[in-house]
C-alpha cells in the first residue's frame, strides 16, 4: 500500500487511526474502477471549498434574512451559488440548501402535499427511488403513492409506460406526479407528462438526481419549467443531487417556478432543515461554475459516448441490456442471459474482489428480491472524469465478462484485479493529479 498521508498531512499526524483509514480509501478510489452510476470524482477546487472555514458558521435562514449575525460573506456565497444555478438551468428560482437529494424531495412534498395526498411515481423495482413512495421510507408512510411502471421487455420495451401513467393519473387524480429515476437509462420526455399533469390538475416534479449534469450540459432535454411566461412547458419542480453527473460536493438542490419559490424555500427552512451547510454550498457554487464551462459539455458528451460503448461491449459479452441500451450515463444489465444462476448480489461481490465497483440492481419484473436481484447497474461519470474513453470501456466490459465467467477461480479474479489496477494507474482521478 502506498502512503497517501500527503493528502491529509495534519489529520494523519493528529489522528493516525483515522488517517490510516483515509489512506486506504484514497488507494481504493485510485486503484479500482468506480462504475457506480451515482458517483463521480469532484475537482480539487470543489473539495477545497467543501473543506473551507465556512464549516464554522451558523446561517439559519436565507441571504439577508438570517437568524444569526456575521453572515455578510456567507450571504454572498449562497447568493453566488443560487445565481449560478439559476443561470445554468434557466430556472426561475433555486434553493441550494438541501443536504441531500432525499431532503430535496422531502421539502417538495412538504411544500406541495398534505399527509394522505395521492402521488403518482415510478415503481422502485423498475427504476424509481426510495423517496418515491417506498413503504420503508417516510414518503410511502405519509403519502398515498400509486406507482406506474415500464412496458414489458421487447423491441422499444422497458420504457416508461405512458399509457399506464395516463390511465392512473385520470383514475387516481394525484396532487403530484413524479418522474425521474435511479435506474432508468432512457430519456424521459417532459411534454407528454406536462400535458397529463395539466389535464388532471397535478403538480409535475422531475427528480433529476442522476441526469442533472447531462441537462446542464444540454446533452439531455431540460425538464426545467418556468411560470414567468404564463404557460409552463416543463416541470413545476426539479430536484437533484450535486454529486452525481453534476460532479460537485455531496448534496442536493431544488429548482422551481417563481410561483412555488416561497413555498419551497419555507419547506426547506424552517420546515425541514436547520443550519445550512455553507461550506458545501460554497463547493456547489464551484461545481456550478465548472458546469457552465465548455469543457463540461465535452465531458458529458464523453460520459454518454462511454456509456453507449460500455453497453455495446457488455452486450457482446452476453449480457442483456435493459431497454436494449442507453441514452444517458447509465447501463442496467440483466445477468440471466449471461448465466441464469448468477445473481446481482454474487456478481457485485465478485466484481468488487476484482476491483470493479458497481451495484446490484433489480431489473423490471425481477423475480429476485431487491437484496439479491438479477441485474447490475453501471455508470460512466467517474471514470470519464478520470479520462477514460471508448477503448477503456471495451476493455472494462471484457474484464467484467472474464471475472463473472470464472468467478470461482481466485487466480483469474486476482489477475483481473491486477489488470484493473494497471489500467487505473494510467487514469488517475483529479485528486491524484
Residues that bind ligand DSN (CB under 6 A): 38, 129, 182
CB of 238 to ligand DSN, least distance (A): 16
CA distance 212 to 113: 24
Q: Which of 131, 182, 185, 241 is catalytic?
A: 241
Instruction: Kindly tell me which of 97 and 182 has the beta carbon lying closer to ligand DSN.
Output: 182
Instruction: Kindly tell me which of 29 and 232 has the beta carbon lying closer to ligand DSN.
Output: 29
Instruction: Kindly tell me which of 180 and 225 has the beta carbon lying closer to ligand DSN.
Output: 180
Instruction: Kindly tell me which of 37 and 80 has the beta carbon lying closer to ligand DSN.
Output: 37
Helix (H) or strand (E) holding 333: strand 330-334
CA distance 216 to 209: 12
Catalytic residue at 250?
yes
Secondary structure of residue 204 in the 3-state scheme: strand
Nearest residue to ligand DSN on Cβ basis: 38
Catalytic residue at 244?
yes
Q: Which of 66, 82, 186, 244 is catalytic?
A: 244
CB of 68 to ligand DSN, least distance (A): 31
Give the count of beta carbons closer than 10 Å to the beta carbon of residue 113.
Answer: 19
Helix (H) or strand (E) holding 396: helix 390-405
CA distance 412 to 354: 9
CA dihedral 382, 384, 385, 386 (to 10 degrees): 90
Instruction: Kindly tell me which of 243 and 402 has the beta carbon lying closer to ligand DSN.
Output: 243
Q: Is the CB of residue 107 less than 8 Å from the CB of residue 176?
A: no
CB of 67 to ligand DSN, least distance (A): 31
Q: What's the first-to-final CA gap in the chain, in angstroms?
A: 18
| Count of alpha carbons within 13 angstroms of residue 323, beta-carbon side | 26
CB of 131 to ligand DSN, least distance (A): 8
Q: Which of 39, 92, 125, 207 is catalytic?
A: 207
Q: Which of 8, 20, 58, 308 is catalytic?
A: 58
CB of 402 to ligand DSN, least distance (A): 26
Catalytic residue at 161?
no
CA distance 80 to 93: 13
Catalytic residue at 58?
yes
Catalytic site positions: 58, 60, 207, 241, 244, 250
Amino acid at each position: 500500500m502506498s502512503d497517501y498521508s500527503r493528502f491529509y498531512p495534519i489529520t494523519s499526524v493528529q489522528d493516525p487511526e483515522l488517517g490510516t483509514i483515509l489512506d486506504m480509501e484514497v488507494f481504493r478510489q485510485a486503484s479500482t474502477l468506480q462504475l457506480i452510476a451515482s458517483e463521480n470524482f469532484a475537482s480539487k477546487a470543489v473539495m477545497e471549498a467543501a473543506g473551507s472555514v465556512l464549516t464554522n458558521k451558523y446561517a439559519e435562514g436565507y441571504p439577508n434574512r438570517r437568524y444569526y449575525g456575521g453572515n455578510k460573506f456567507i450571504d454572498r456565497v449562497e447568493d453566488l451559488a443560487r445565481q449560478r444555478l439559476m443561470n445554468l438551468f434557466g430556472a426561475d428560482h433555486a434553493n441550494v440548501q438541501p443536504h441531500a437529494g432525499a431532503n430535496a424531495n422531502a421539502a417538495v412534498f412538504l411544500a406541495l402535499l398534505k399527509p394522505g395526498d395521492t402521488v403518482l411515481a415510478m415503481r422502485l423495482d423498475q427504476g424509481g427511488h426510495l423517496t418515491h413512495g417506498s413503504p420503508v421510507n417516510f414518503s410511502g408512510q405519509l403519502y398515498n403513492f400509486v406507482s406506474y411502471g415500464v412496458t414489458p421487455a421487447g423491441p422499444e420495451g422497458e420504457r416508461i409506460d405512458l399509457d399506464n401513467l395516463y390511465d392512473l393519473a385520470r383514475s387516481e387524480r394525484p396532487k403530484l406526479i413524479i418522474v425521474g429515476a435511479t435506474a432508468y437509462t432512457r430519456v424521459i420526455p417532459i411534454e407528454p407528462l406536462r400535458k397529463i399533469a395539466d389535464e388532471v390538475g397535478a403538480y409535475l416534479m422531475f427528480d433529476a438526481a442522476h441526469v442533472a449534469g447531462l441537462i446542464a450540459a444540454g446533452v439531455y432535454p431540460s425538464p426545467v419549467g418556468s411560470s414567468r411566461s404564463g404557460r409552463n412547458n416543463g416541470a413545476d419542480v426539479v430536484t437533484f443531487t450535486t454529486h452525481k453527473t453534476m460532479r460537485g460536493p455531496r448534496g442536493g438542490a431544488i429548482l422551481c417556478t417563481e410561483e412555488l419559490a416561497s413555498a419551497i424555500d419555507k419547506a426547506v427552512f424552517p420546515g425541514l432543515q436547520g443550519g445550512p451547510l455553507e461550506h458545501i454550498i460554497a463547493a456547489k457554487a464551484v461545481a456550478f461554475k465548472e458546469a457552465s464551462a465548455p469543457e463540461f459539455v465535452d465531458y458529458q458528451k464523453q460520459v454518454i459516448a462511454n456509456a453507449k460503448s460500455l453497453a455495446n461491449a457488455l452486450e457482446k459479452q452476453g449480457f442483456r441490456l435493459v431497454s436494449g441500451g442507453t441514452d444517458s450515463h447509465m447501463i442496467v444489465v440483466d445477468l440471466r442471459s449471461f448465466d441464469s444462476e448468477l445473481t446481482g448480489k454474487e456478481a457485485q461481490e465478485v466484481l468488487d474482489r476484482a476491483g470493479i465497483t458497481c451495484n446490484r440492481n433489480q431489473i423490471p419484473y425481477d423475480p429476485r428480491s431487491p437484496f439479491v436481484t438479477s441485474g447490475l447497474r453501471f455508470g460512466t461519470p467517474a471514470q470519464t472524469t478520470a479520462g477514460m474513453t471508448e477503448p477503456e470501456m471495451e476493455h472494462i466490459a471484457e474484464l467484467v465478462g472474464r471475472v463473472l465467467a470464472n468467478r470461482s477461480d481466485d487466480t483469474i479474479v486476482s489477475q483481473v484485479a491486477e489488470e484493473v489496477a494497471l489500467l487505473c494507474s494510467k487514469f488517475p482521478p483529479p485528486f491524484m493529479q
